[in-house]
Amino acid sequence: MSKVFLSVVIPSYDEMANLQKGVLDKVEHFLSKEKFPYEVIIVDDGSGDGSIEFVRRFIEENPNFRLIENSHLGKAGAVTAGVLKSQGDYVLFSDMDQATPIEELDKLLPYFDQDFEVVIGSRSTVRKGAPFIRQFVSHTAIIARKLIVGLPEISDTQCGFKAFKKEAARKLFTRIDKLHNGFKKISGSSVSSGFDVELLFIAEKLGYKIKEVPVNWLYVETRRVSPIKDSVEGMMDLLKIKVKAMKGEYD
């Protein structure tokens, strides 16, 4: 097997609806045209809707794809597991719904040649297709995050399209894994906004150069988003990060 240039990590929890839309075919179609060796790691997060069987069938016909079967730990745990088992010189994690299409990778990769270790996608302030309440919550969360945690130079911490040099990925996600004691099994869906903020907060503490790059993004309806519930949980996550920082847990 050739040395892997790029690893793409995609968390999957009850994603049958998106899988049936052919999202993995789109990822494979794009990457197969690239001139570098790659792997796609799908991390199933304890799905119960048949999506894990769907992925198993897909990888039988696509040798560059592999599957990790996790207990239900939430998105943060799934992404961490995938990144820590990746082999690529560069690692991208991307959402299964492909709200940010895999093609946007071409906008991120060039910045690694400019000595950036972390390159993240950034959505427009006008979130195309998103309901007003989602846009309002997003803008409010940005203000709260800057006031409580910091990272003032980053406008969008939450875009699920982030890439890392191998060494940075290994160090960052090992630190995340230890901070959360390997993550604990949960019930129900969990898409914590705190994960992305904490990841970038640690990256900044470690002195990594971070580049934010505008990417195309299209709102995809999901039953897992609850503006009020997610806002409360997001605020609690920010406060937890602030407390950890004050206690020196990120030093």
Largest Cα–Cα distance of the chain, in whole Å? 50
Lowest mean pLDDT among 43-47, 91-95, 211-215, 230-234: 230-234
Domain count, the chain: 1
Residue 153 lies in a domain: yes
Residue 1 lies in a domain: no
Per the structure, the complete domain to which residue 187 belongs is given by 6-246
pTM: 0.90
How far is the first Cα of the chain from the last one, in angstroms, to the nearest whole number? 39
CB 32 within 8 A of CB 65: no
Residue 251 lies in a domain: no
| Mean of all residue pLDDT scores within the chain | 90
Q: What is the pLDDT of residue 232?
A: 79
pLDDT at 227 over 70: no
Give mean pLDDT, residues 62-88: 96
Residue 18 lies in a domain: yes
Lowest mean pLDDT among 30-34, 130-134, 168-172, 209-213: 130-134
Looking up residue 145, the CATH number of its domain turns out to be: 3.90.550.10
Residue 181 lies in a domain: yes
Residue 207 lies in a domain: yes
The CA-atom distances, in angstroms, between 99 and each of 18, 29, 71, 93 are: 11, 17, 25, 13
Residue 172 lies in a domain: yes
Q: How far apart are CA 157 and CA 186, in angstroms?
A: 24
Which tens digit of pLDDT belongs to each residue from 148-198?
998 989 999 999 999 999 999 999 999 999 999 888 888 766 556 789 999
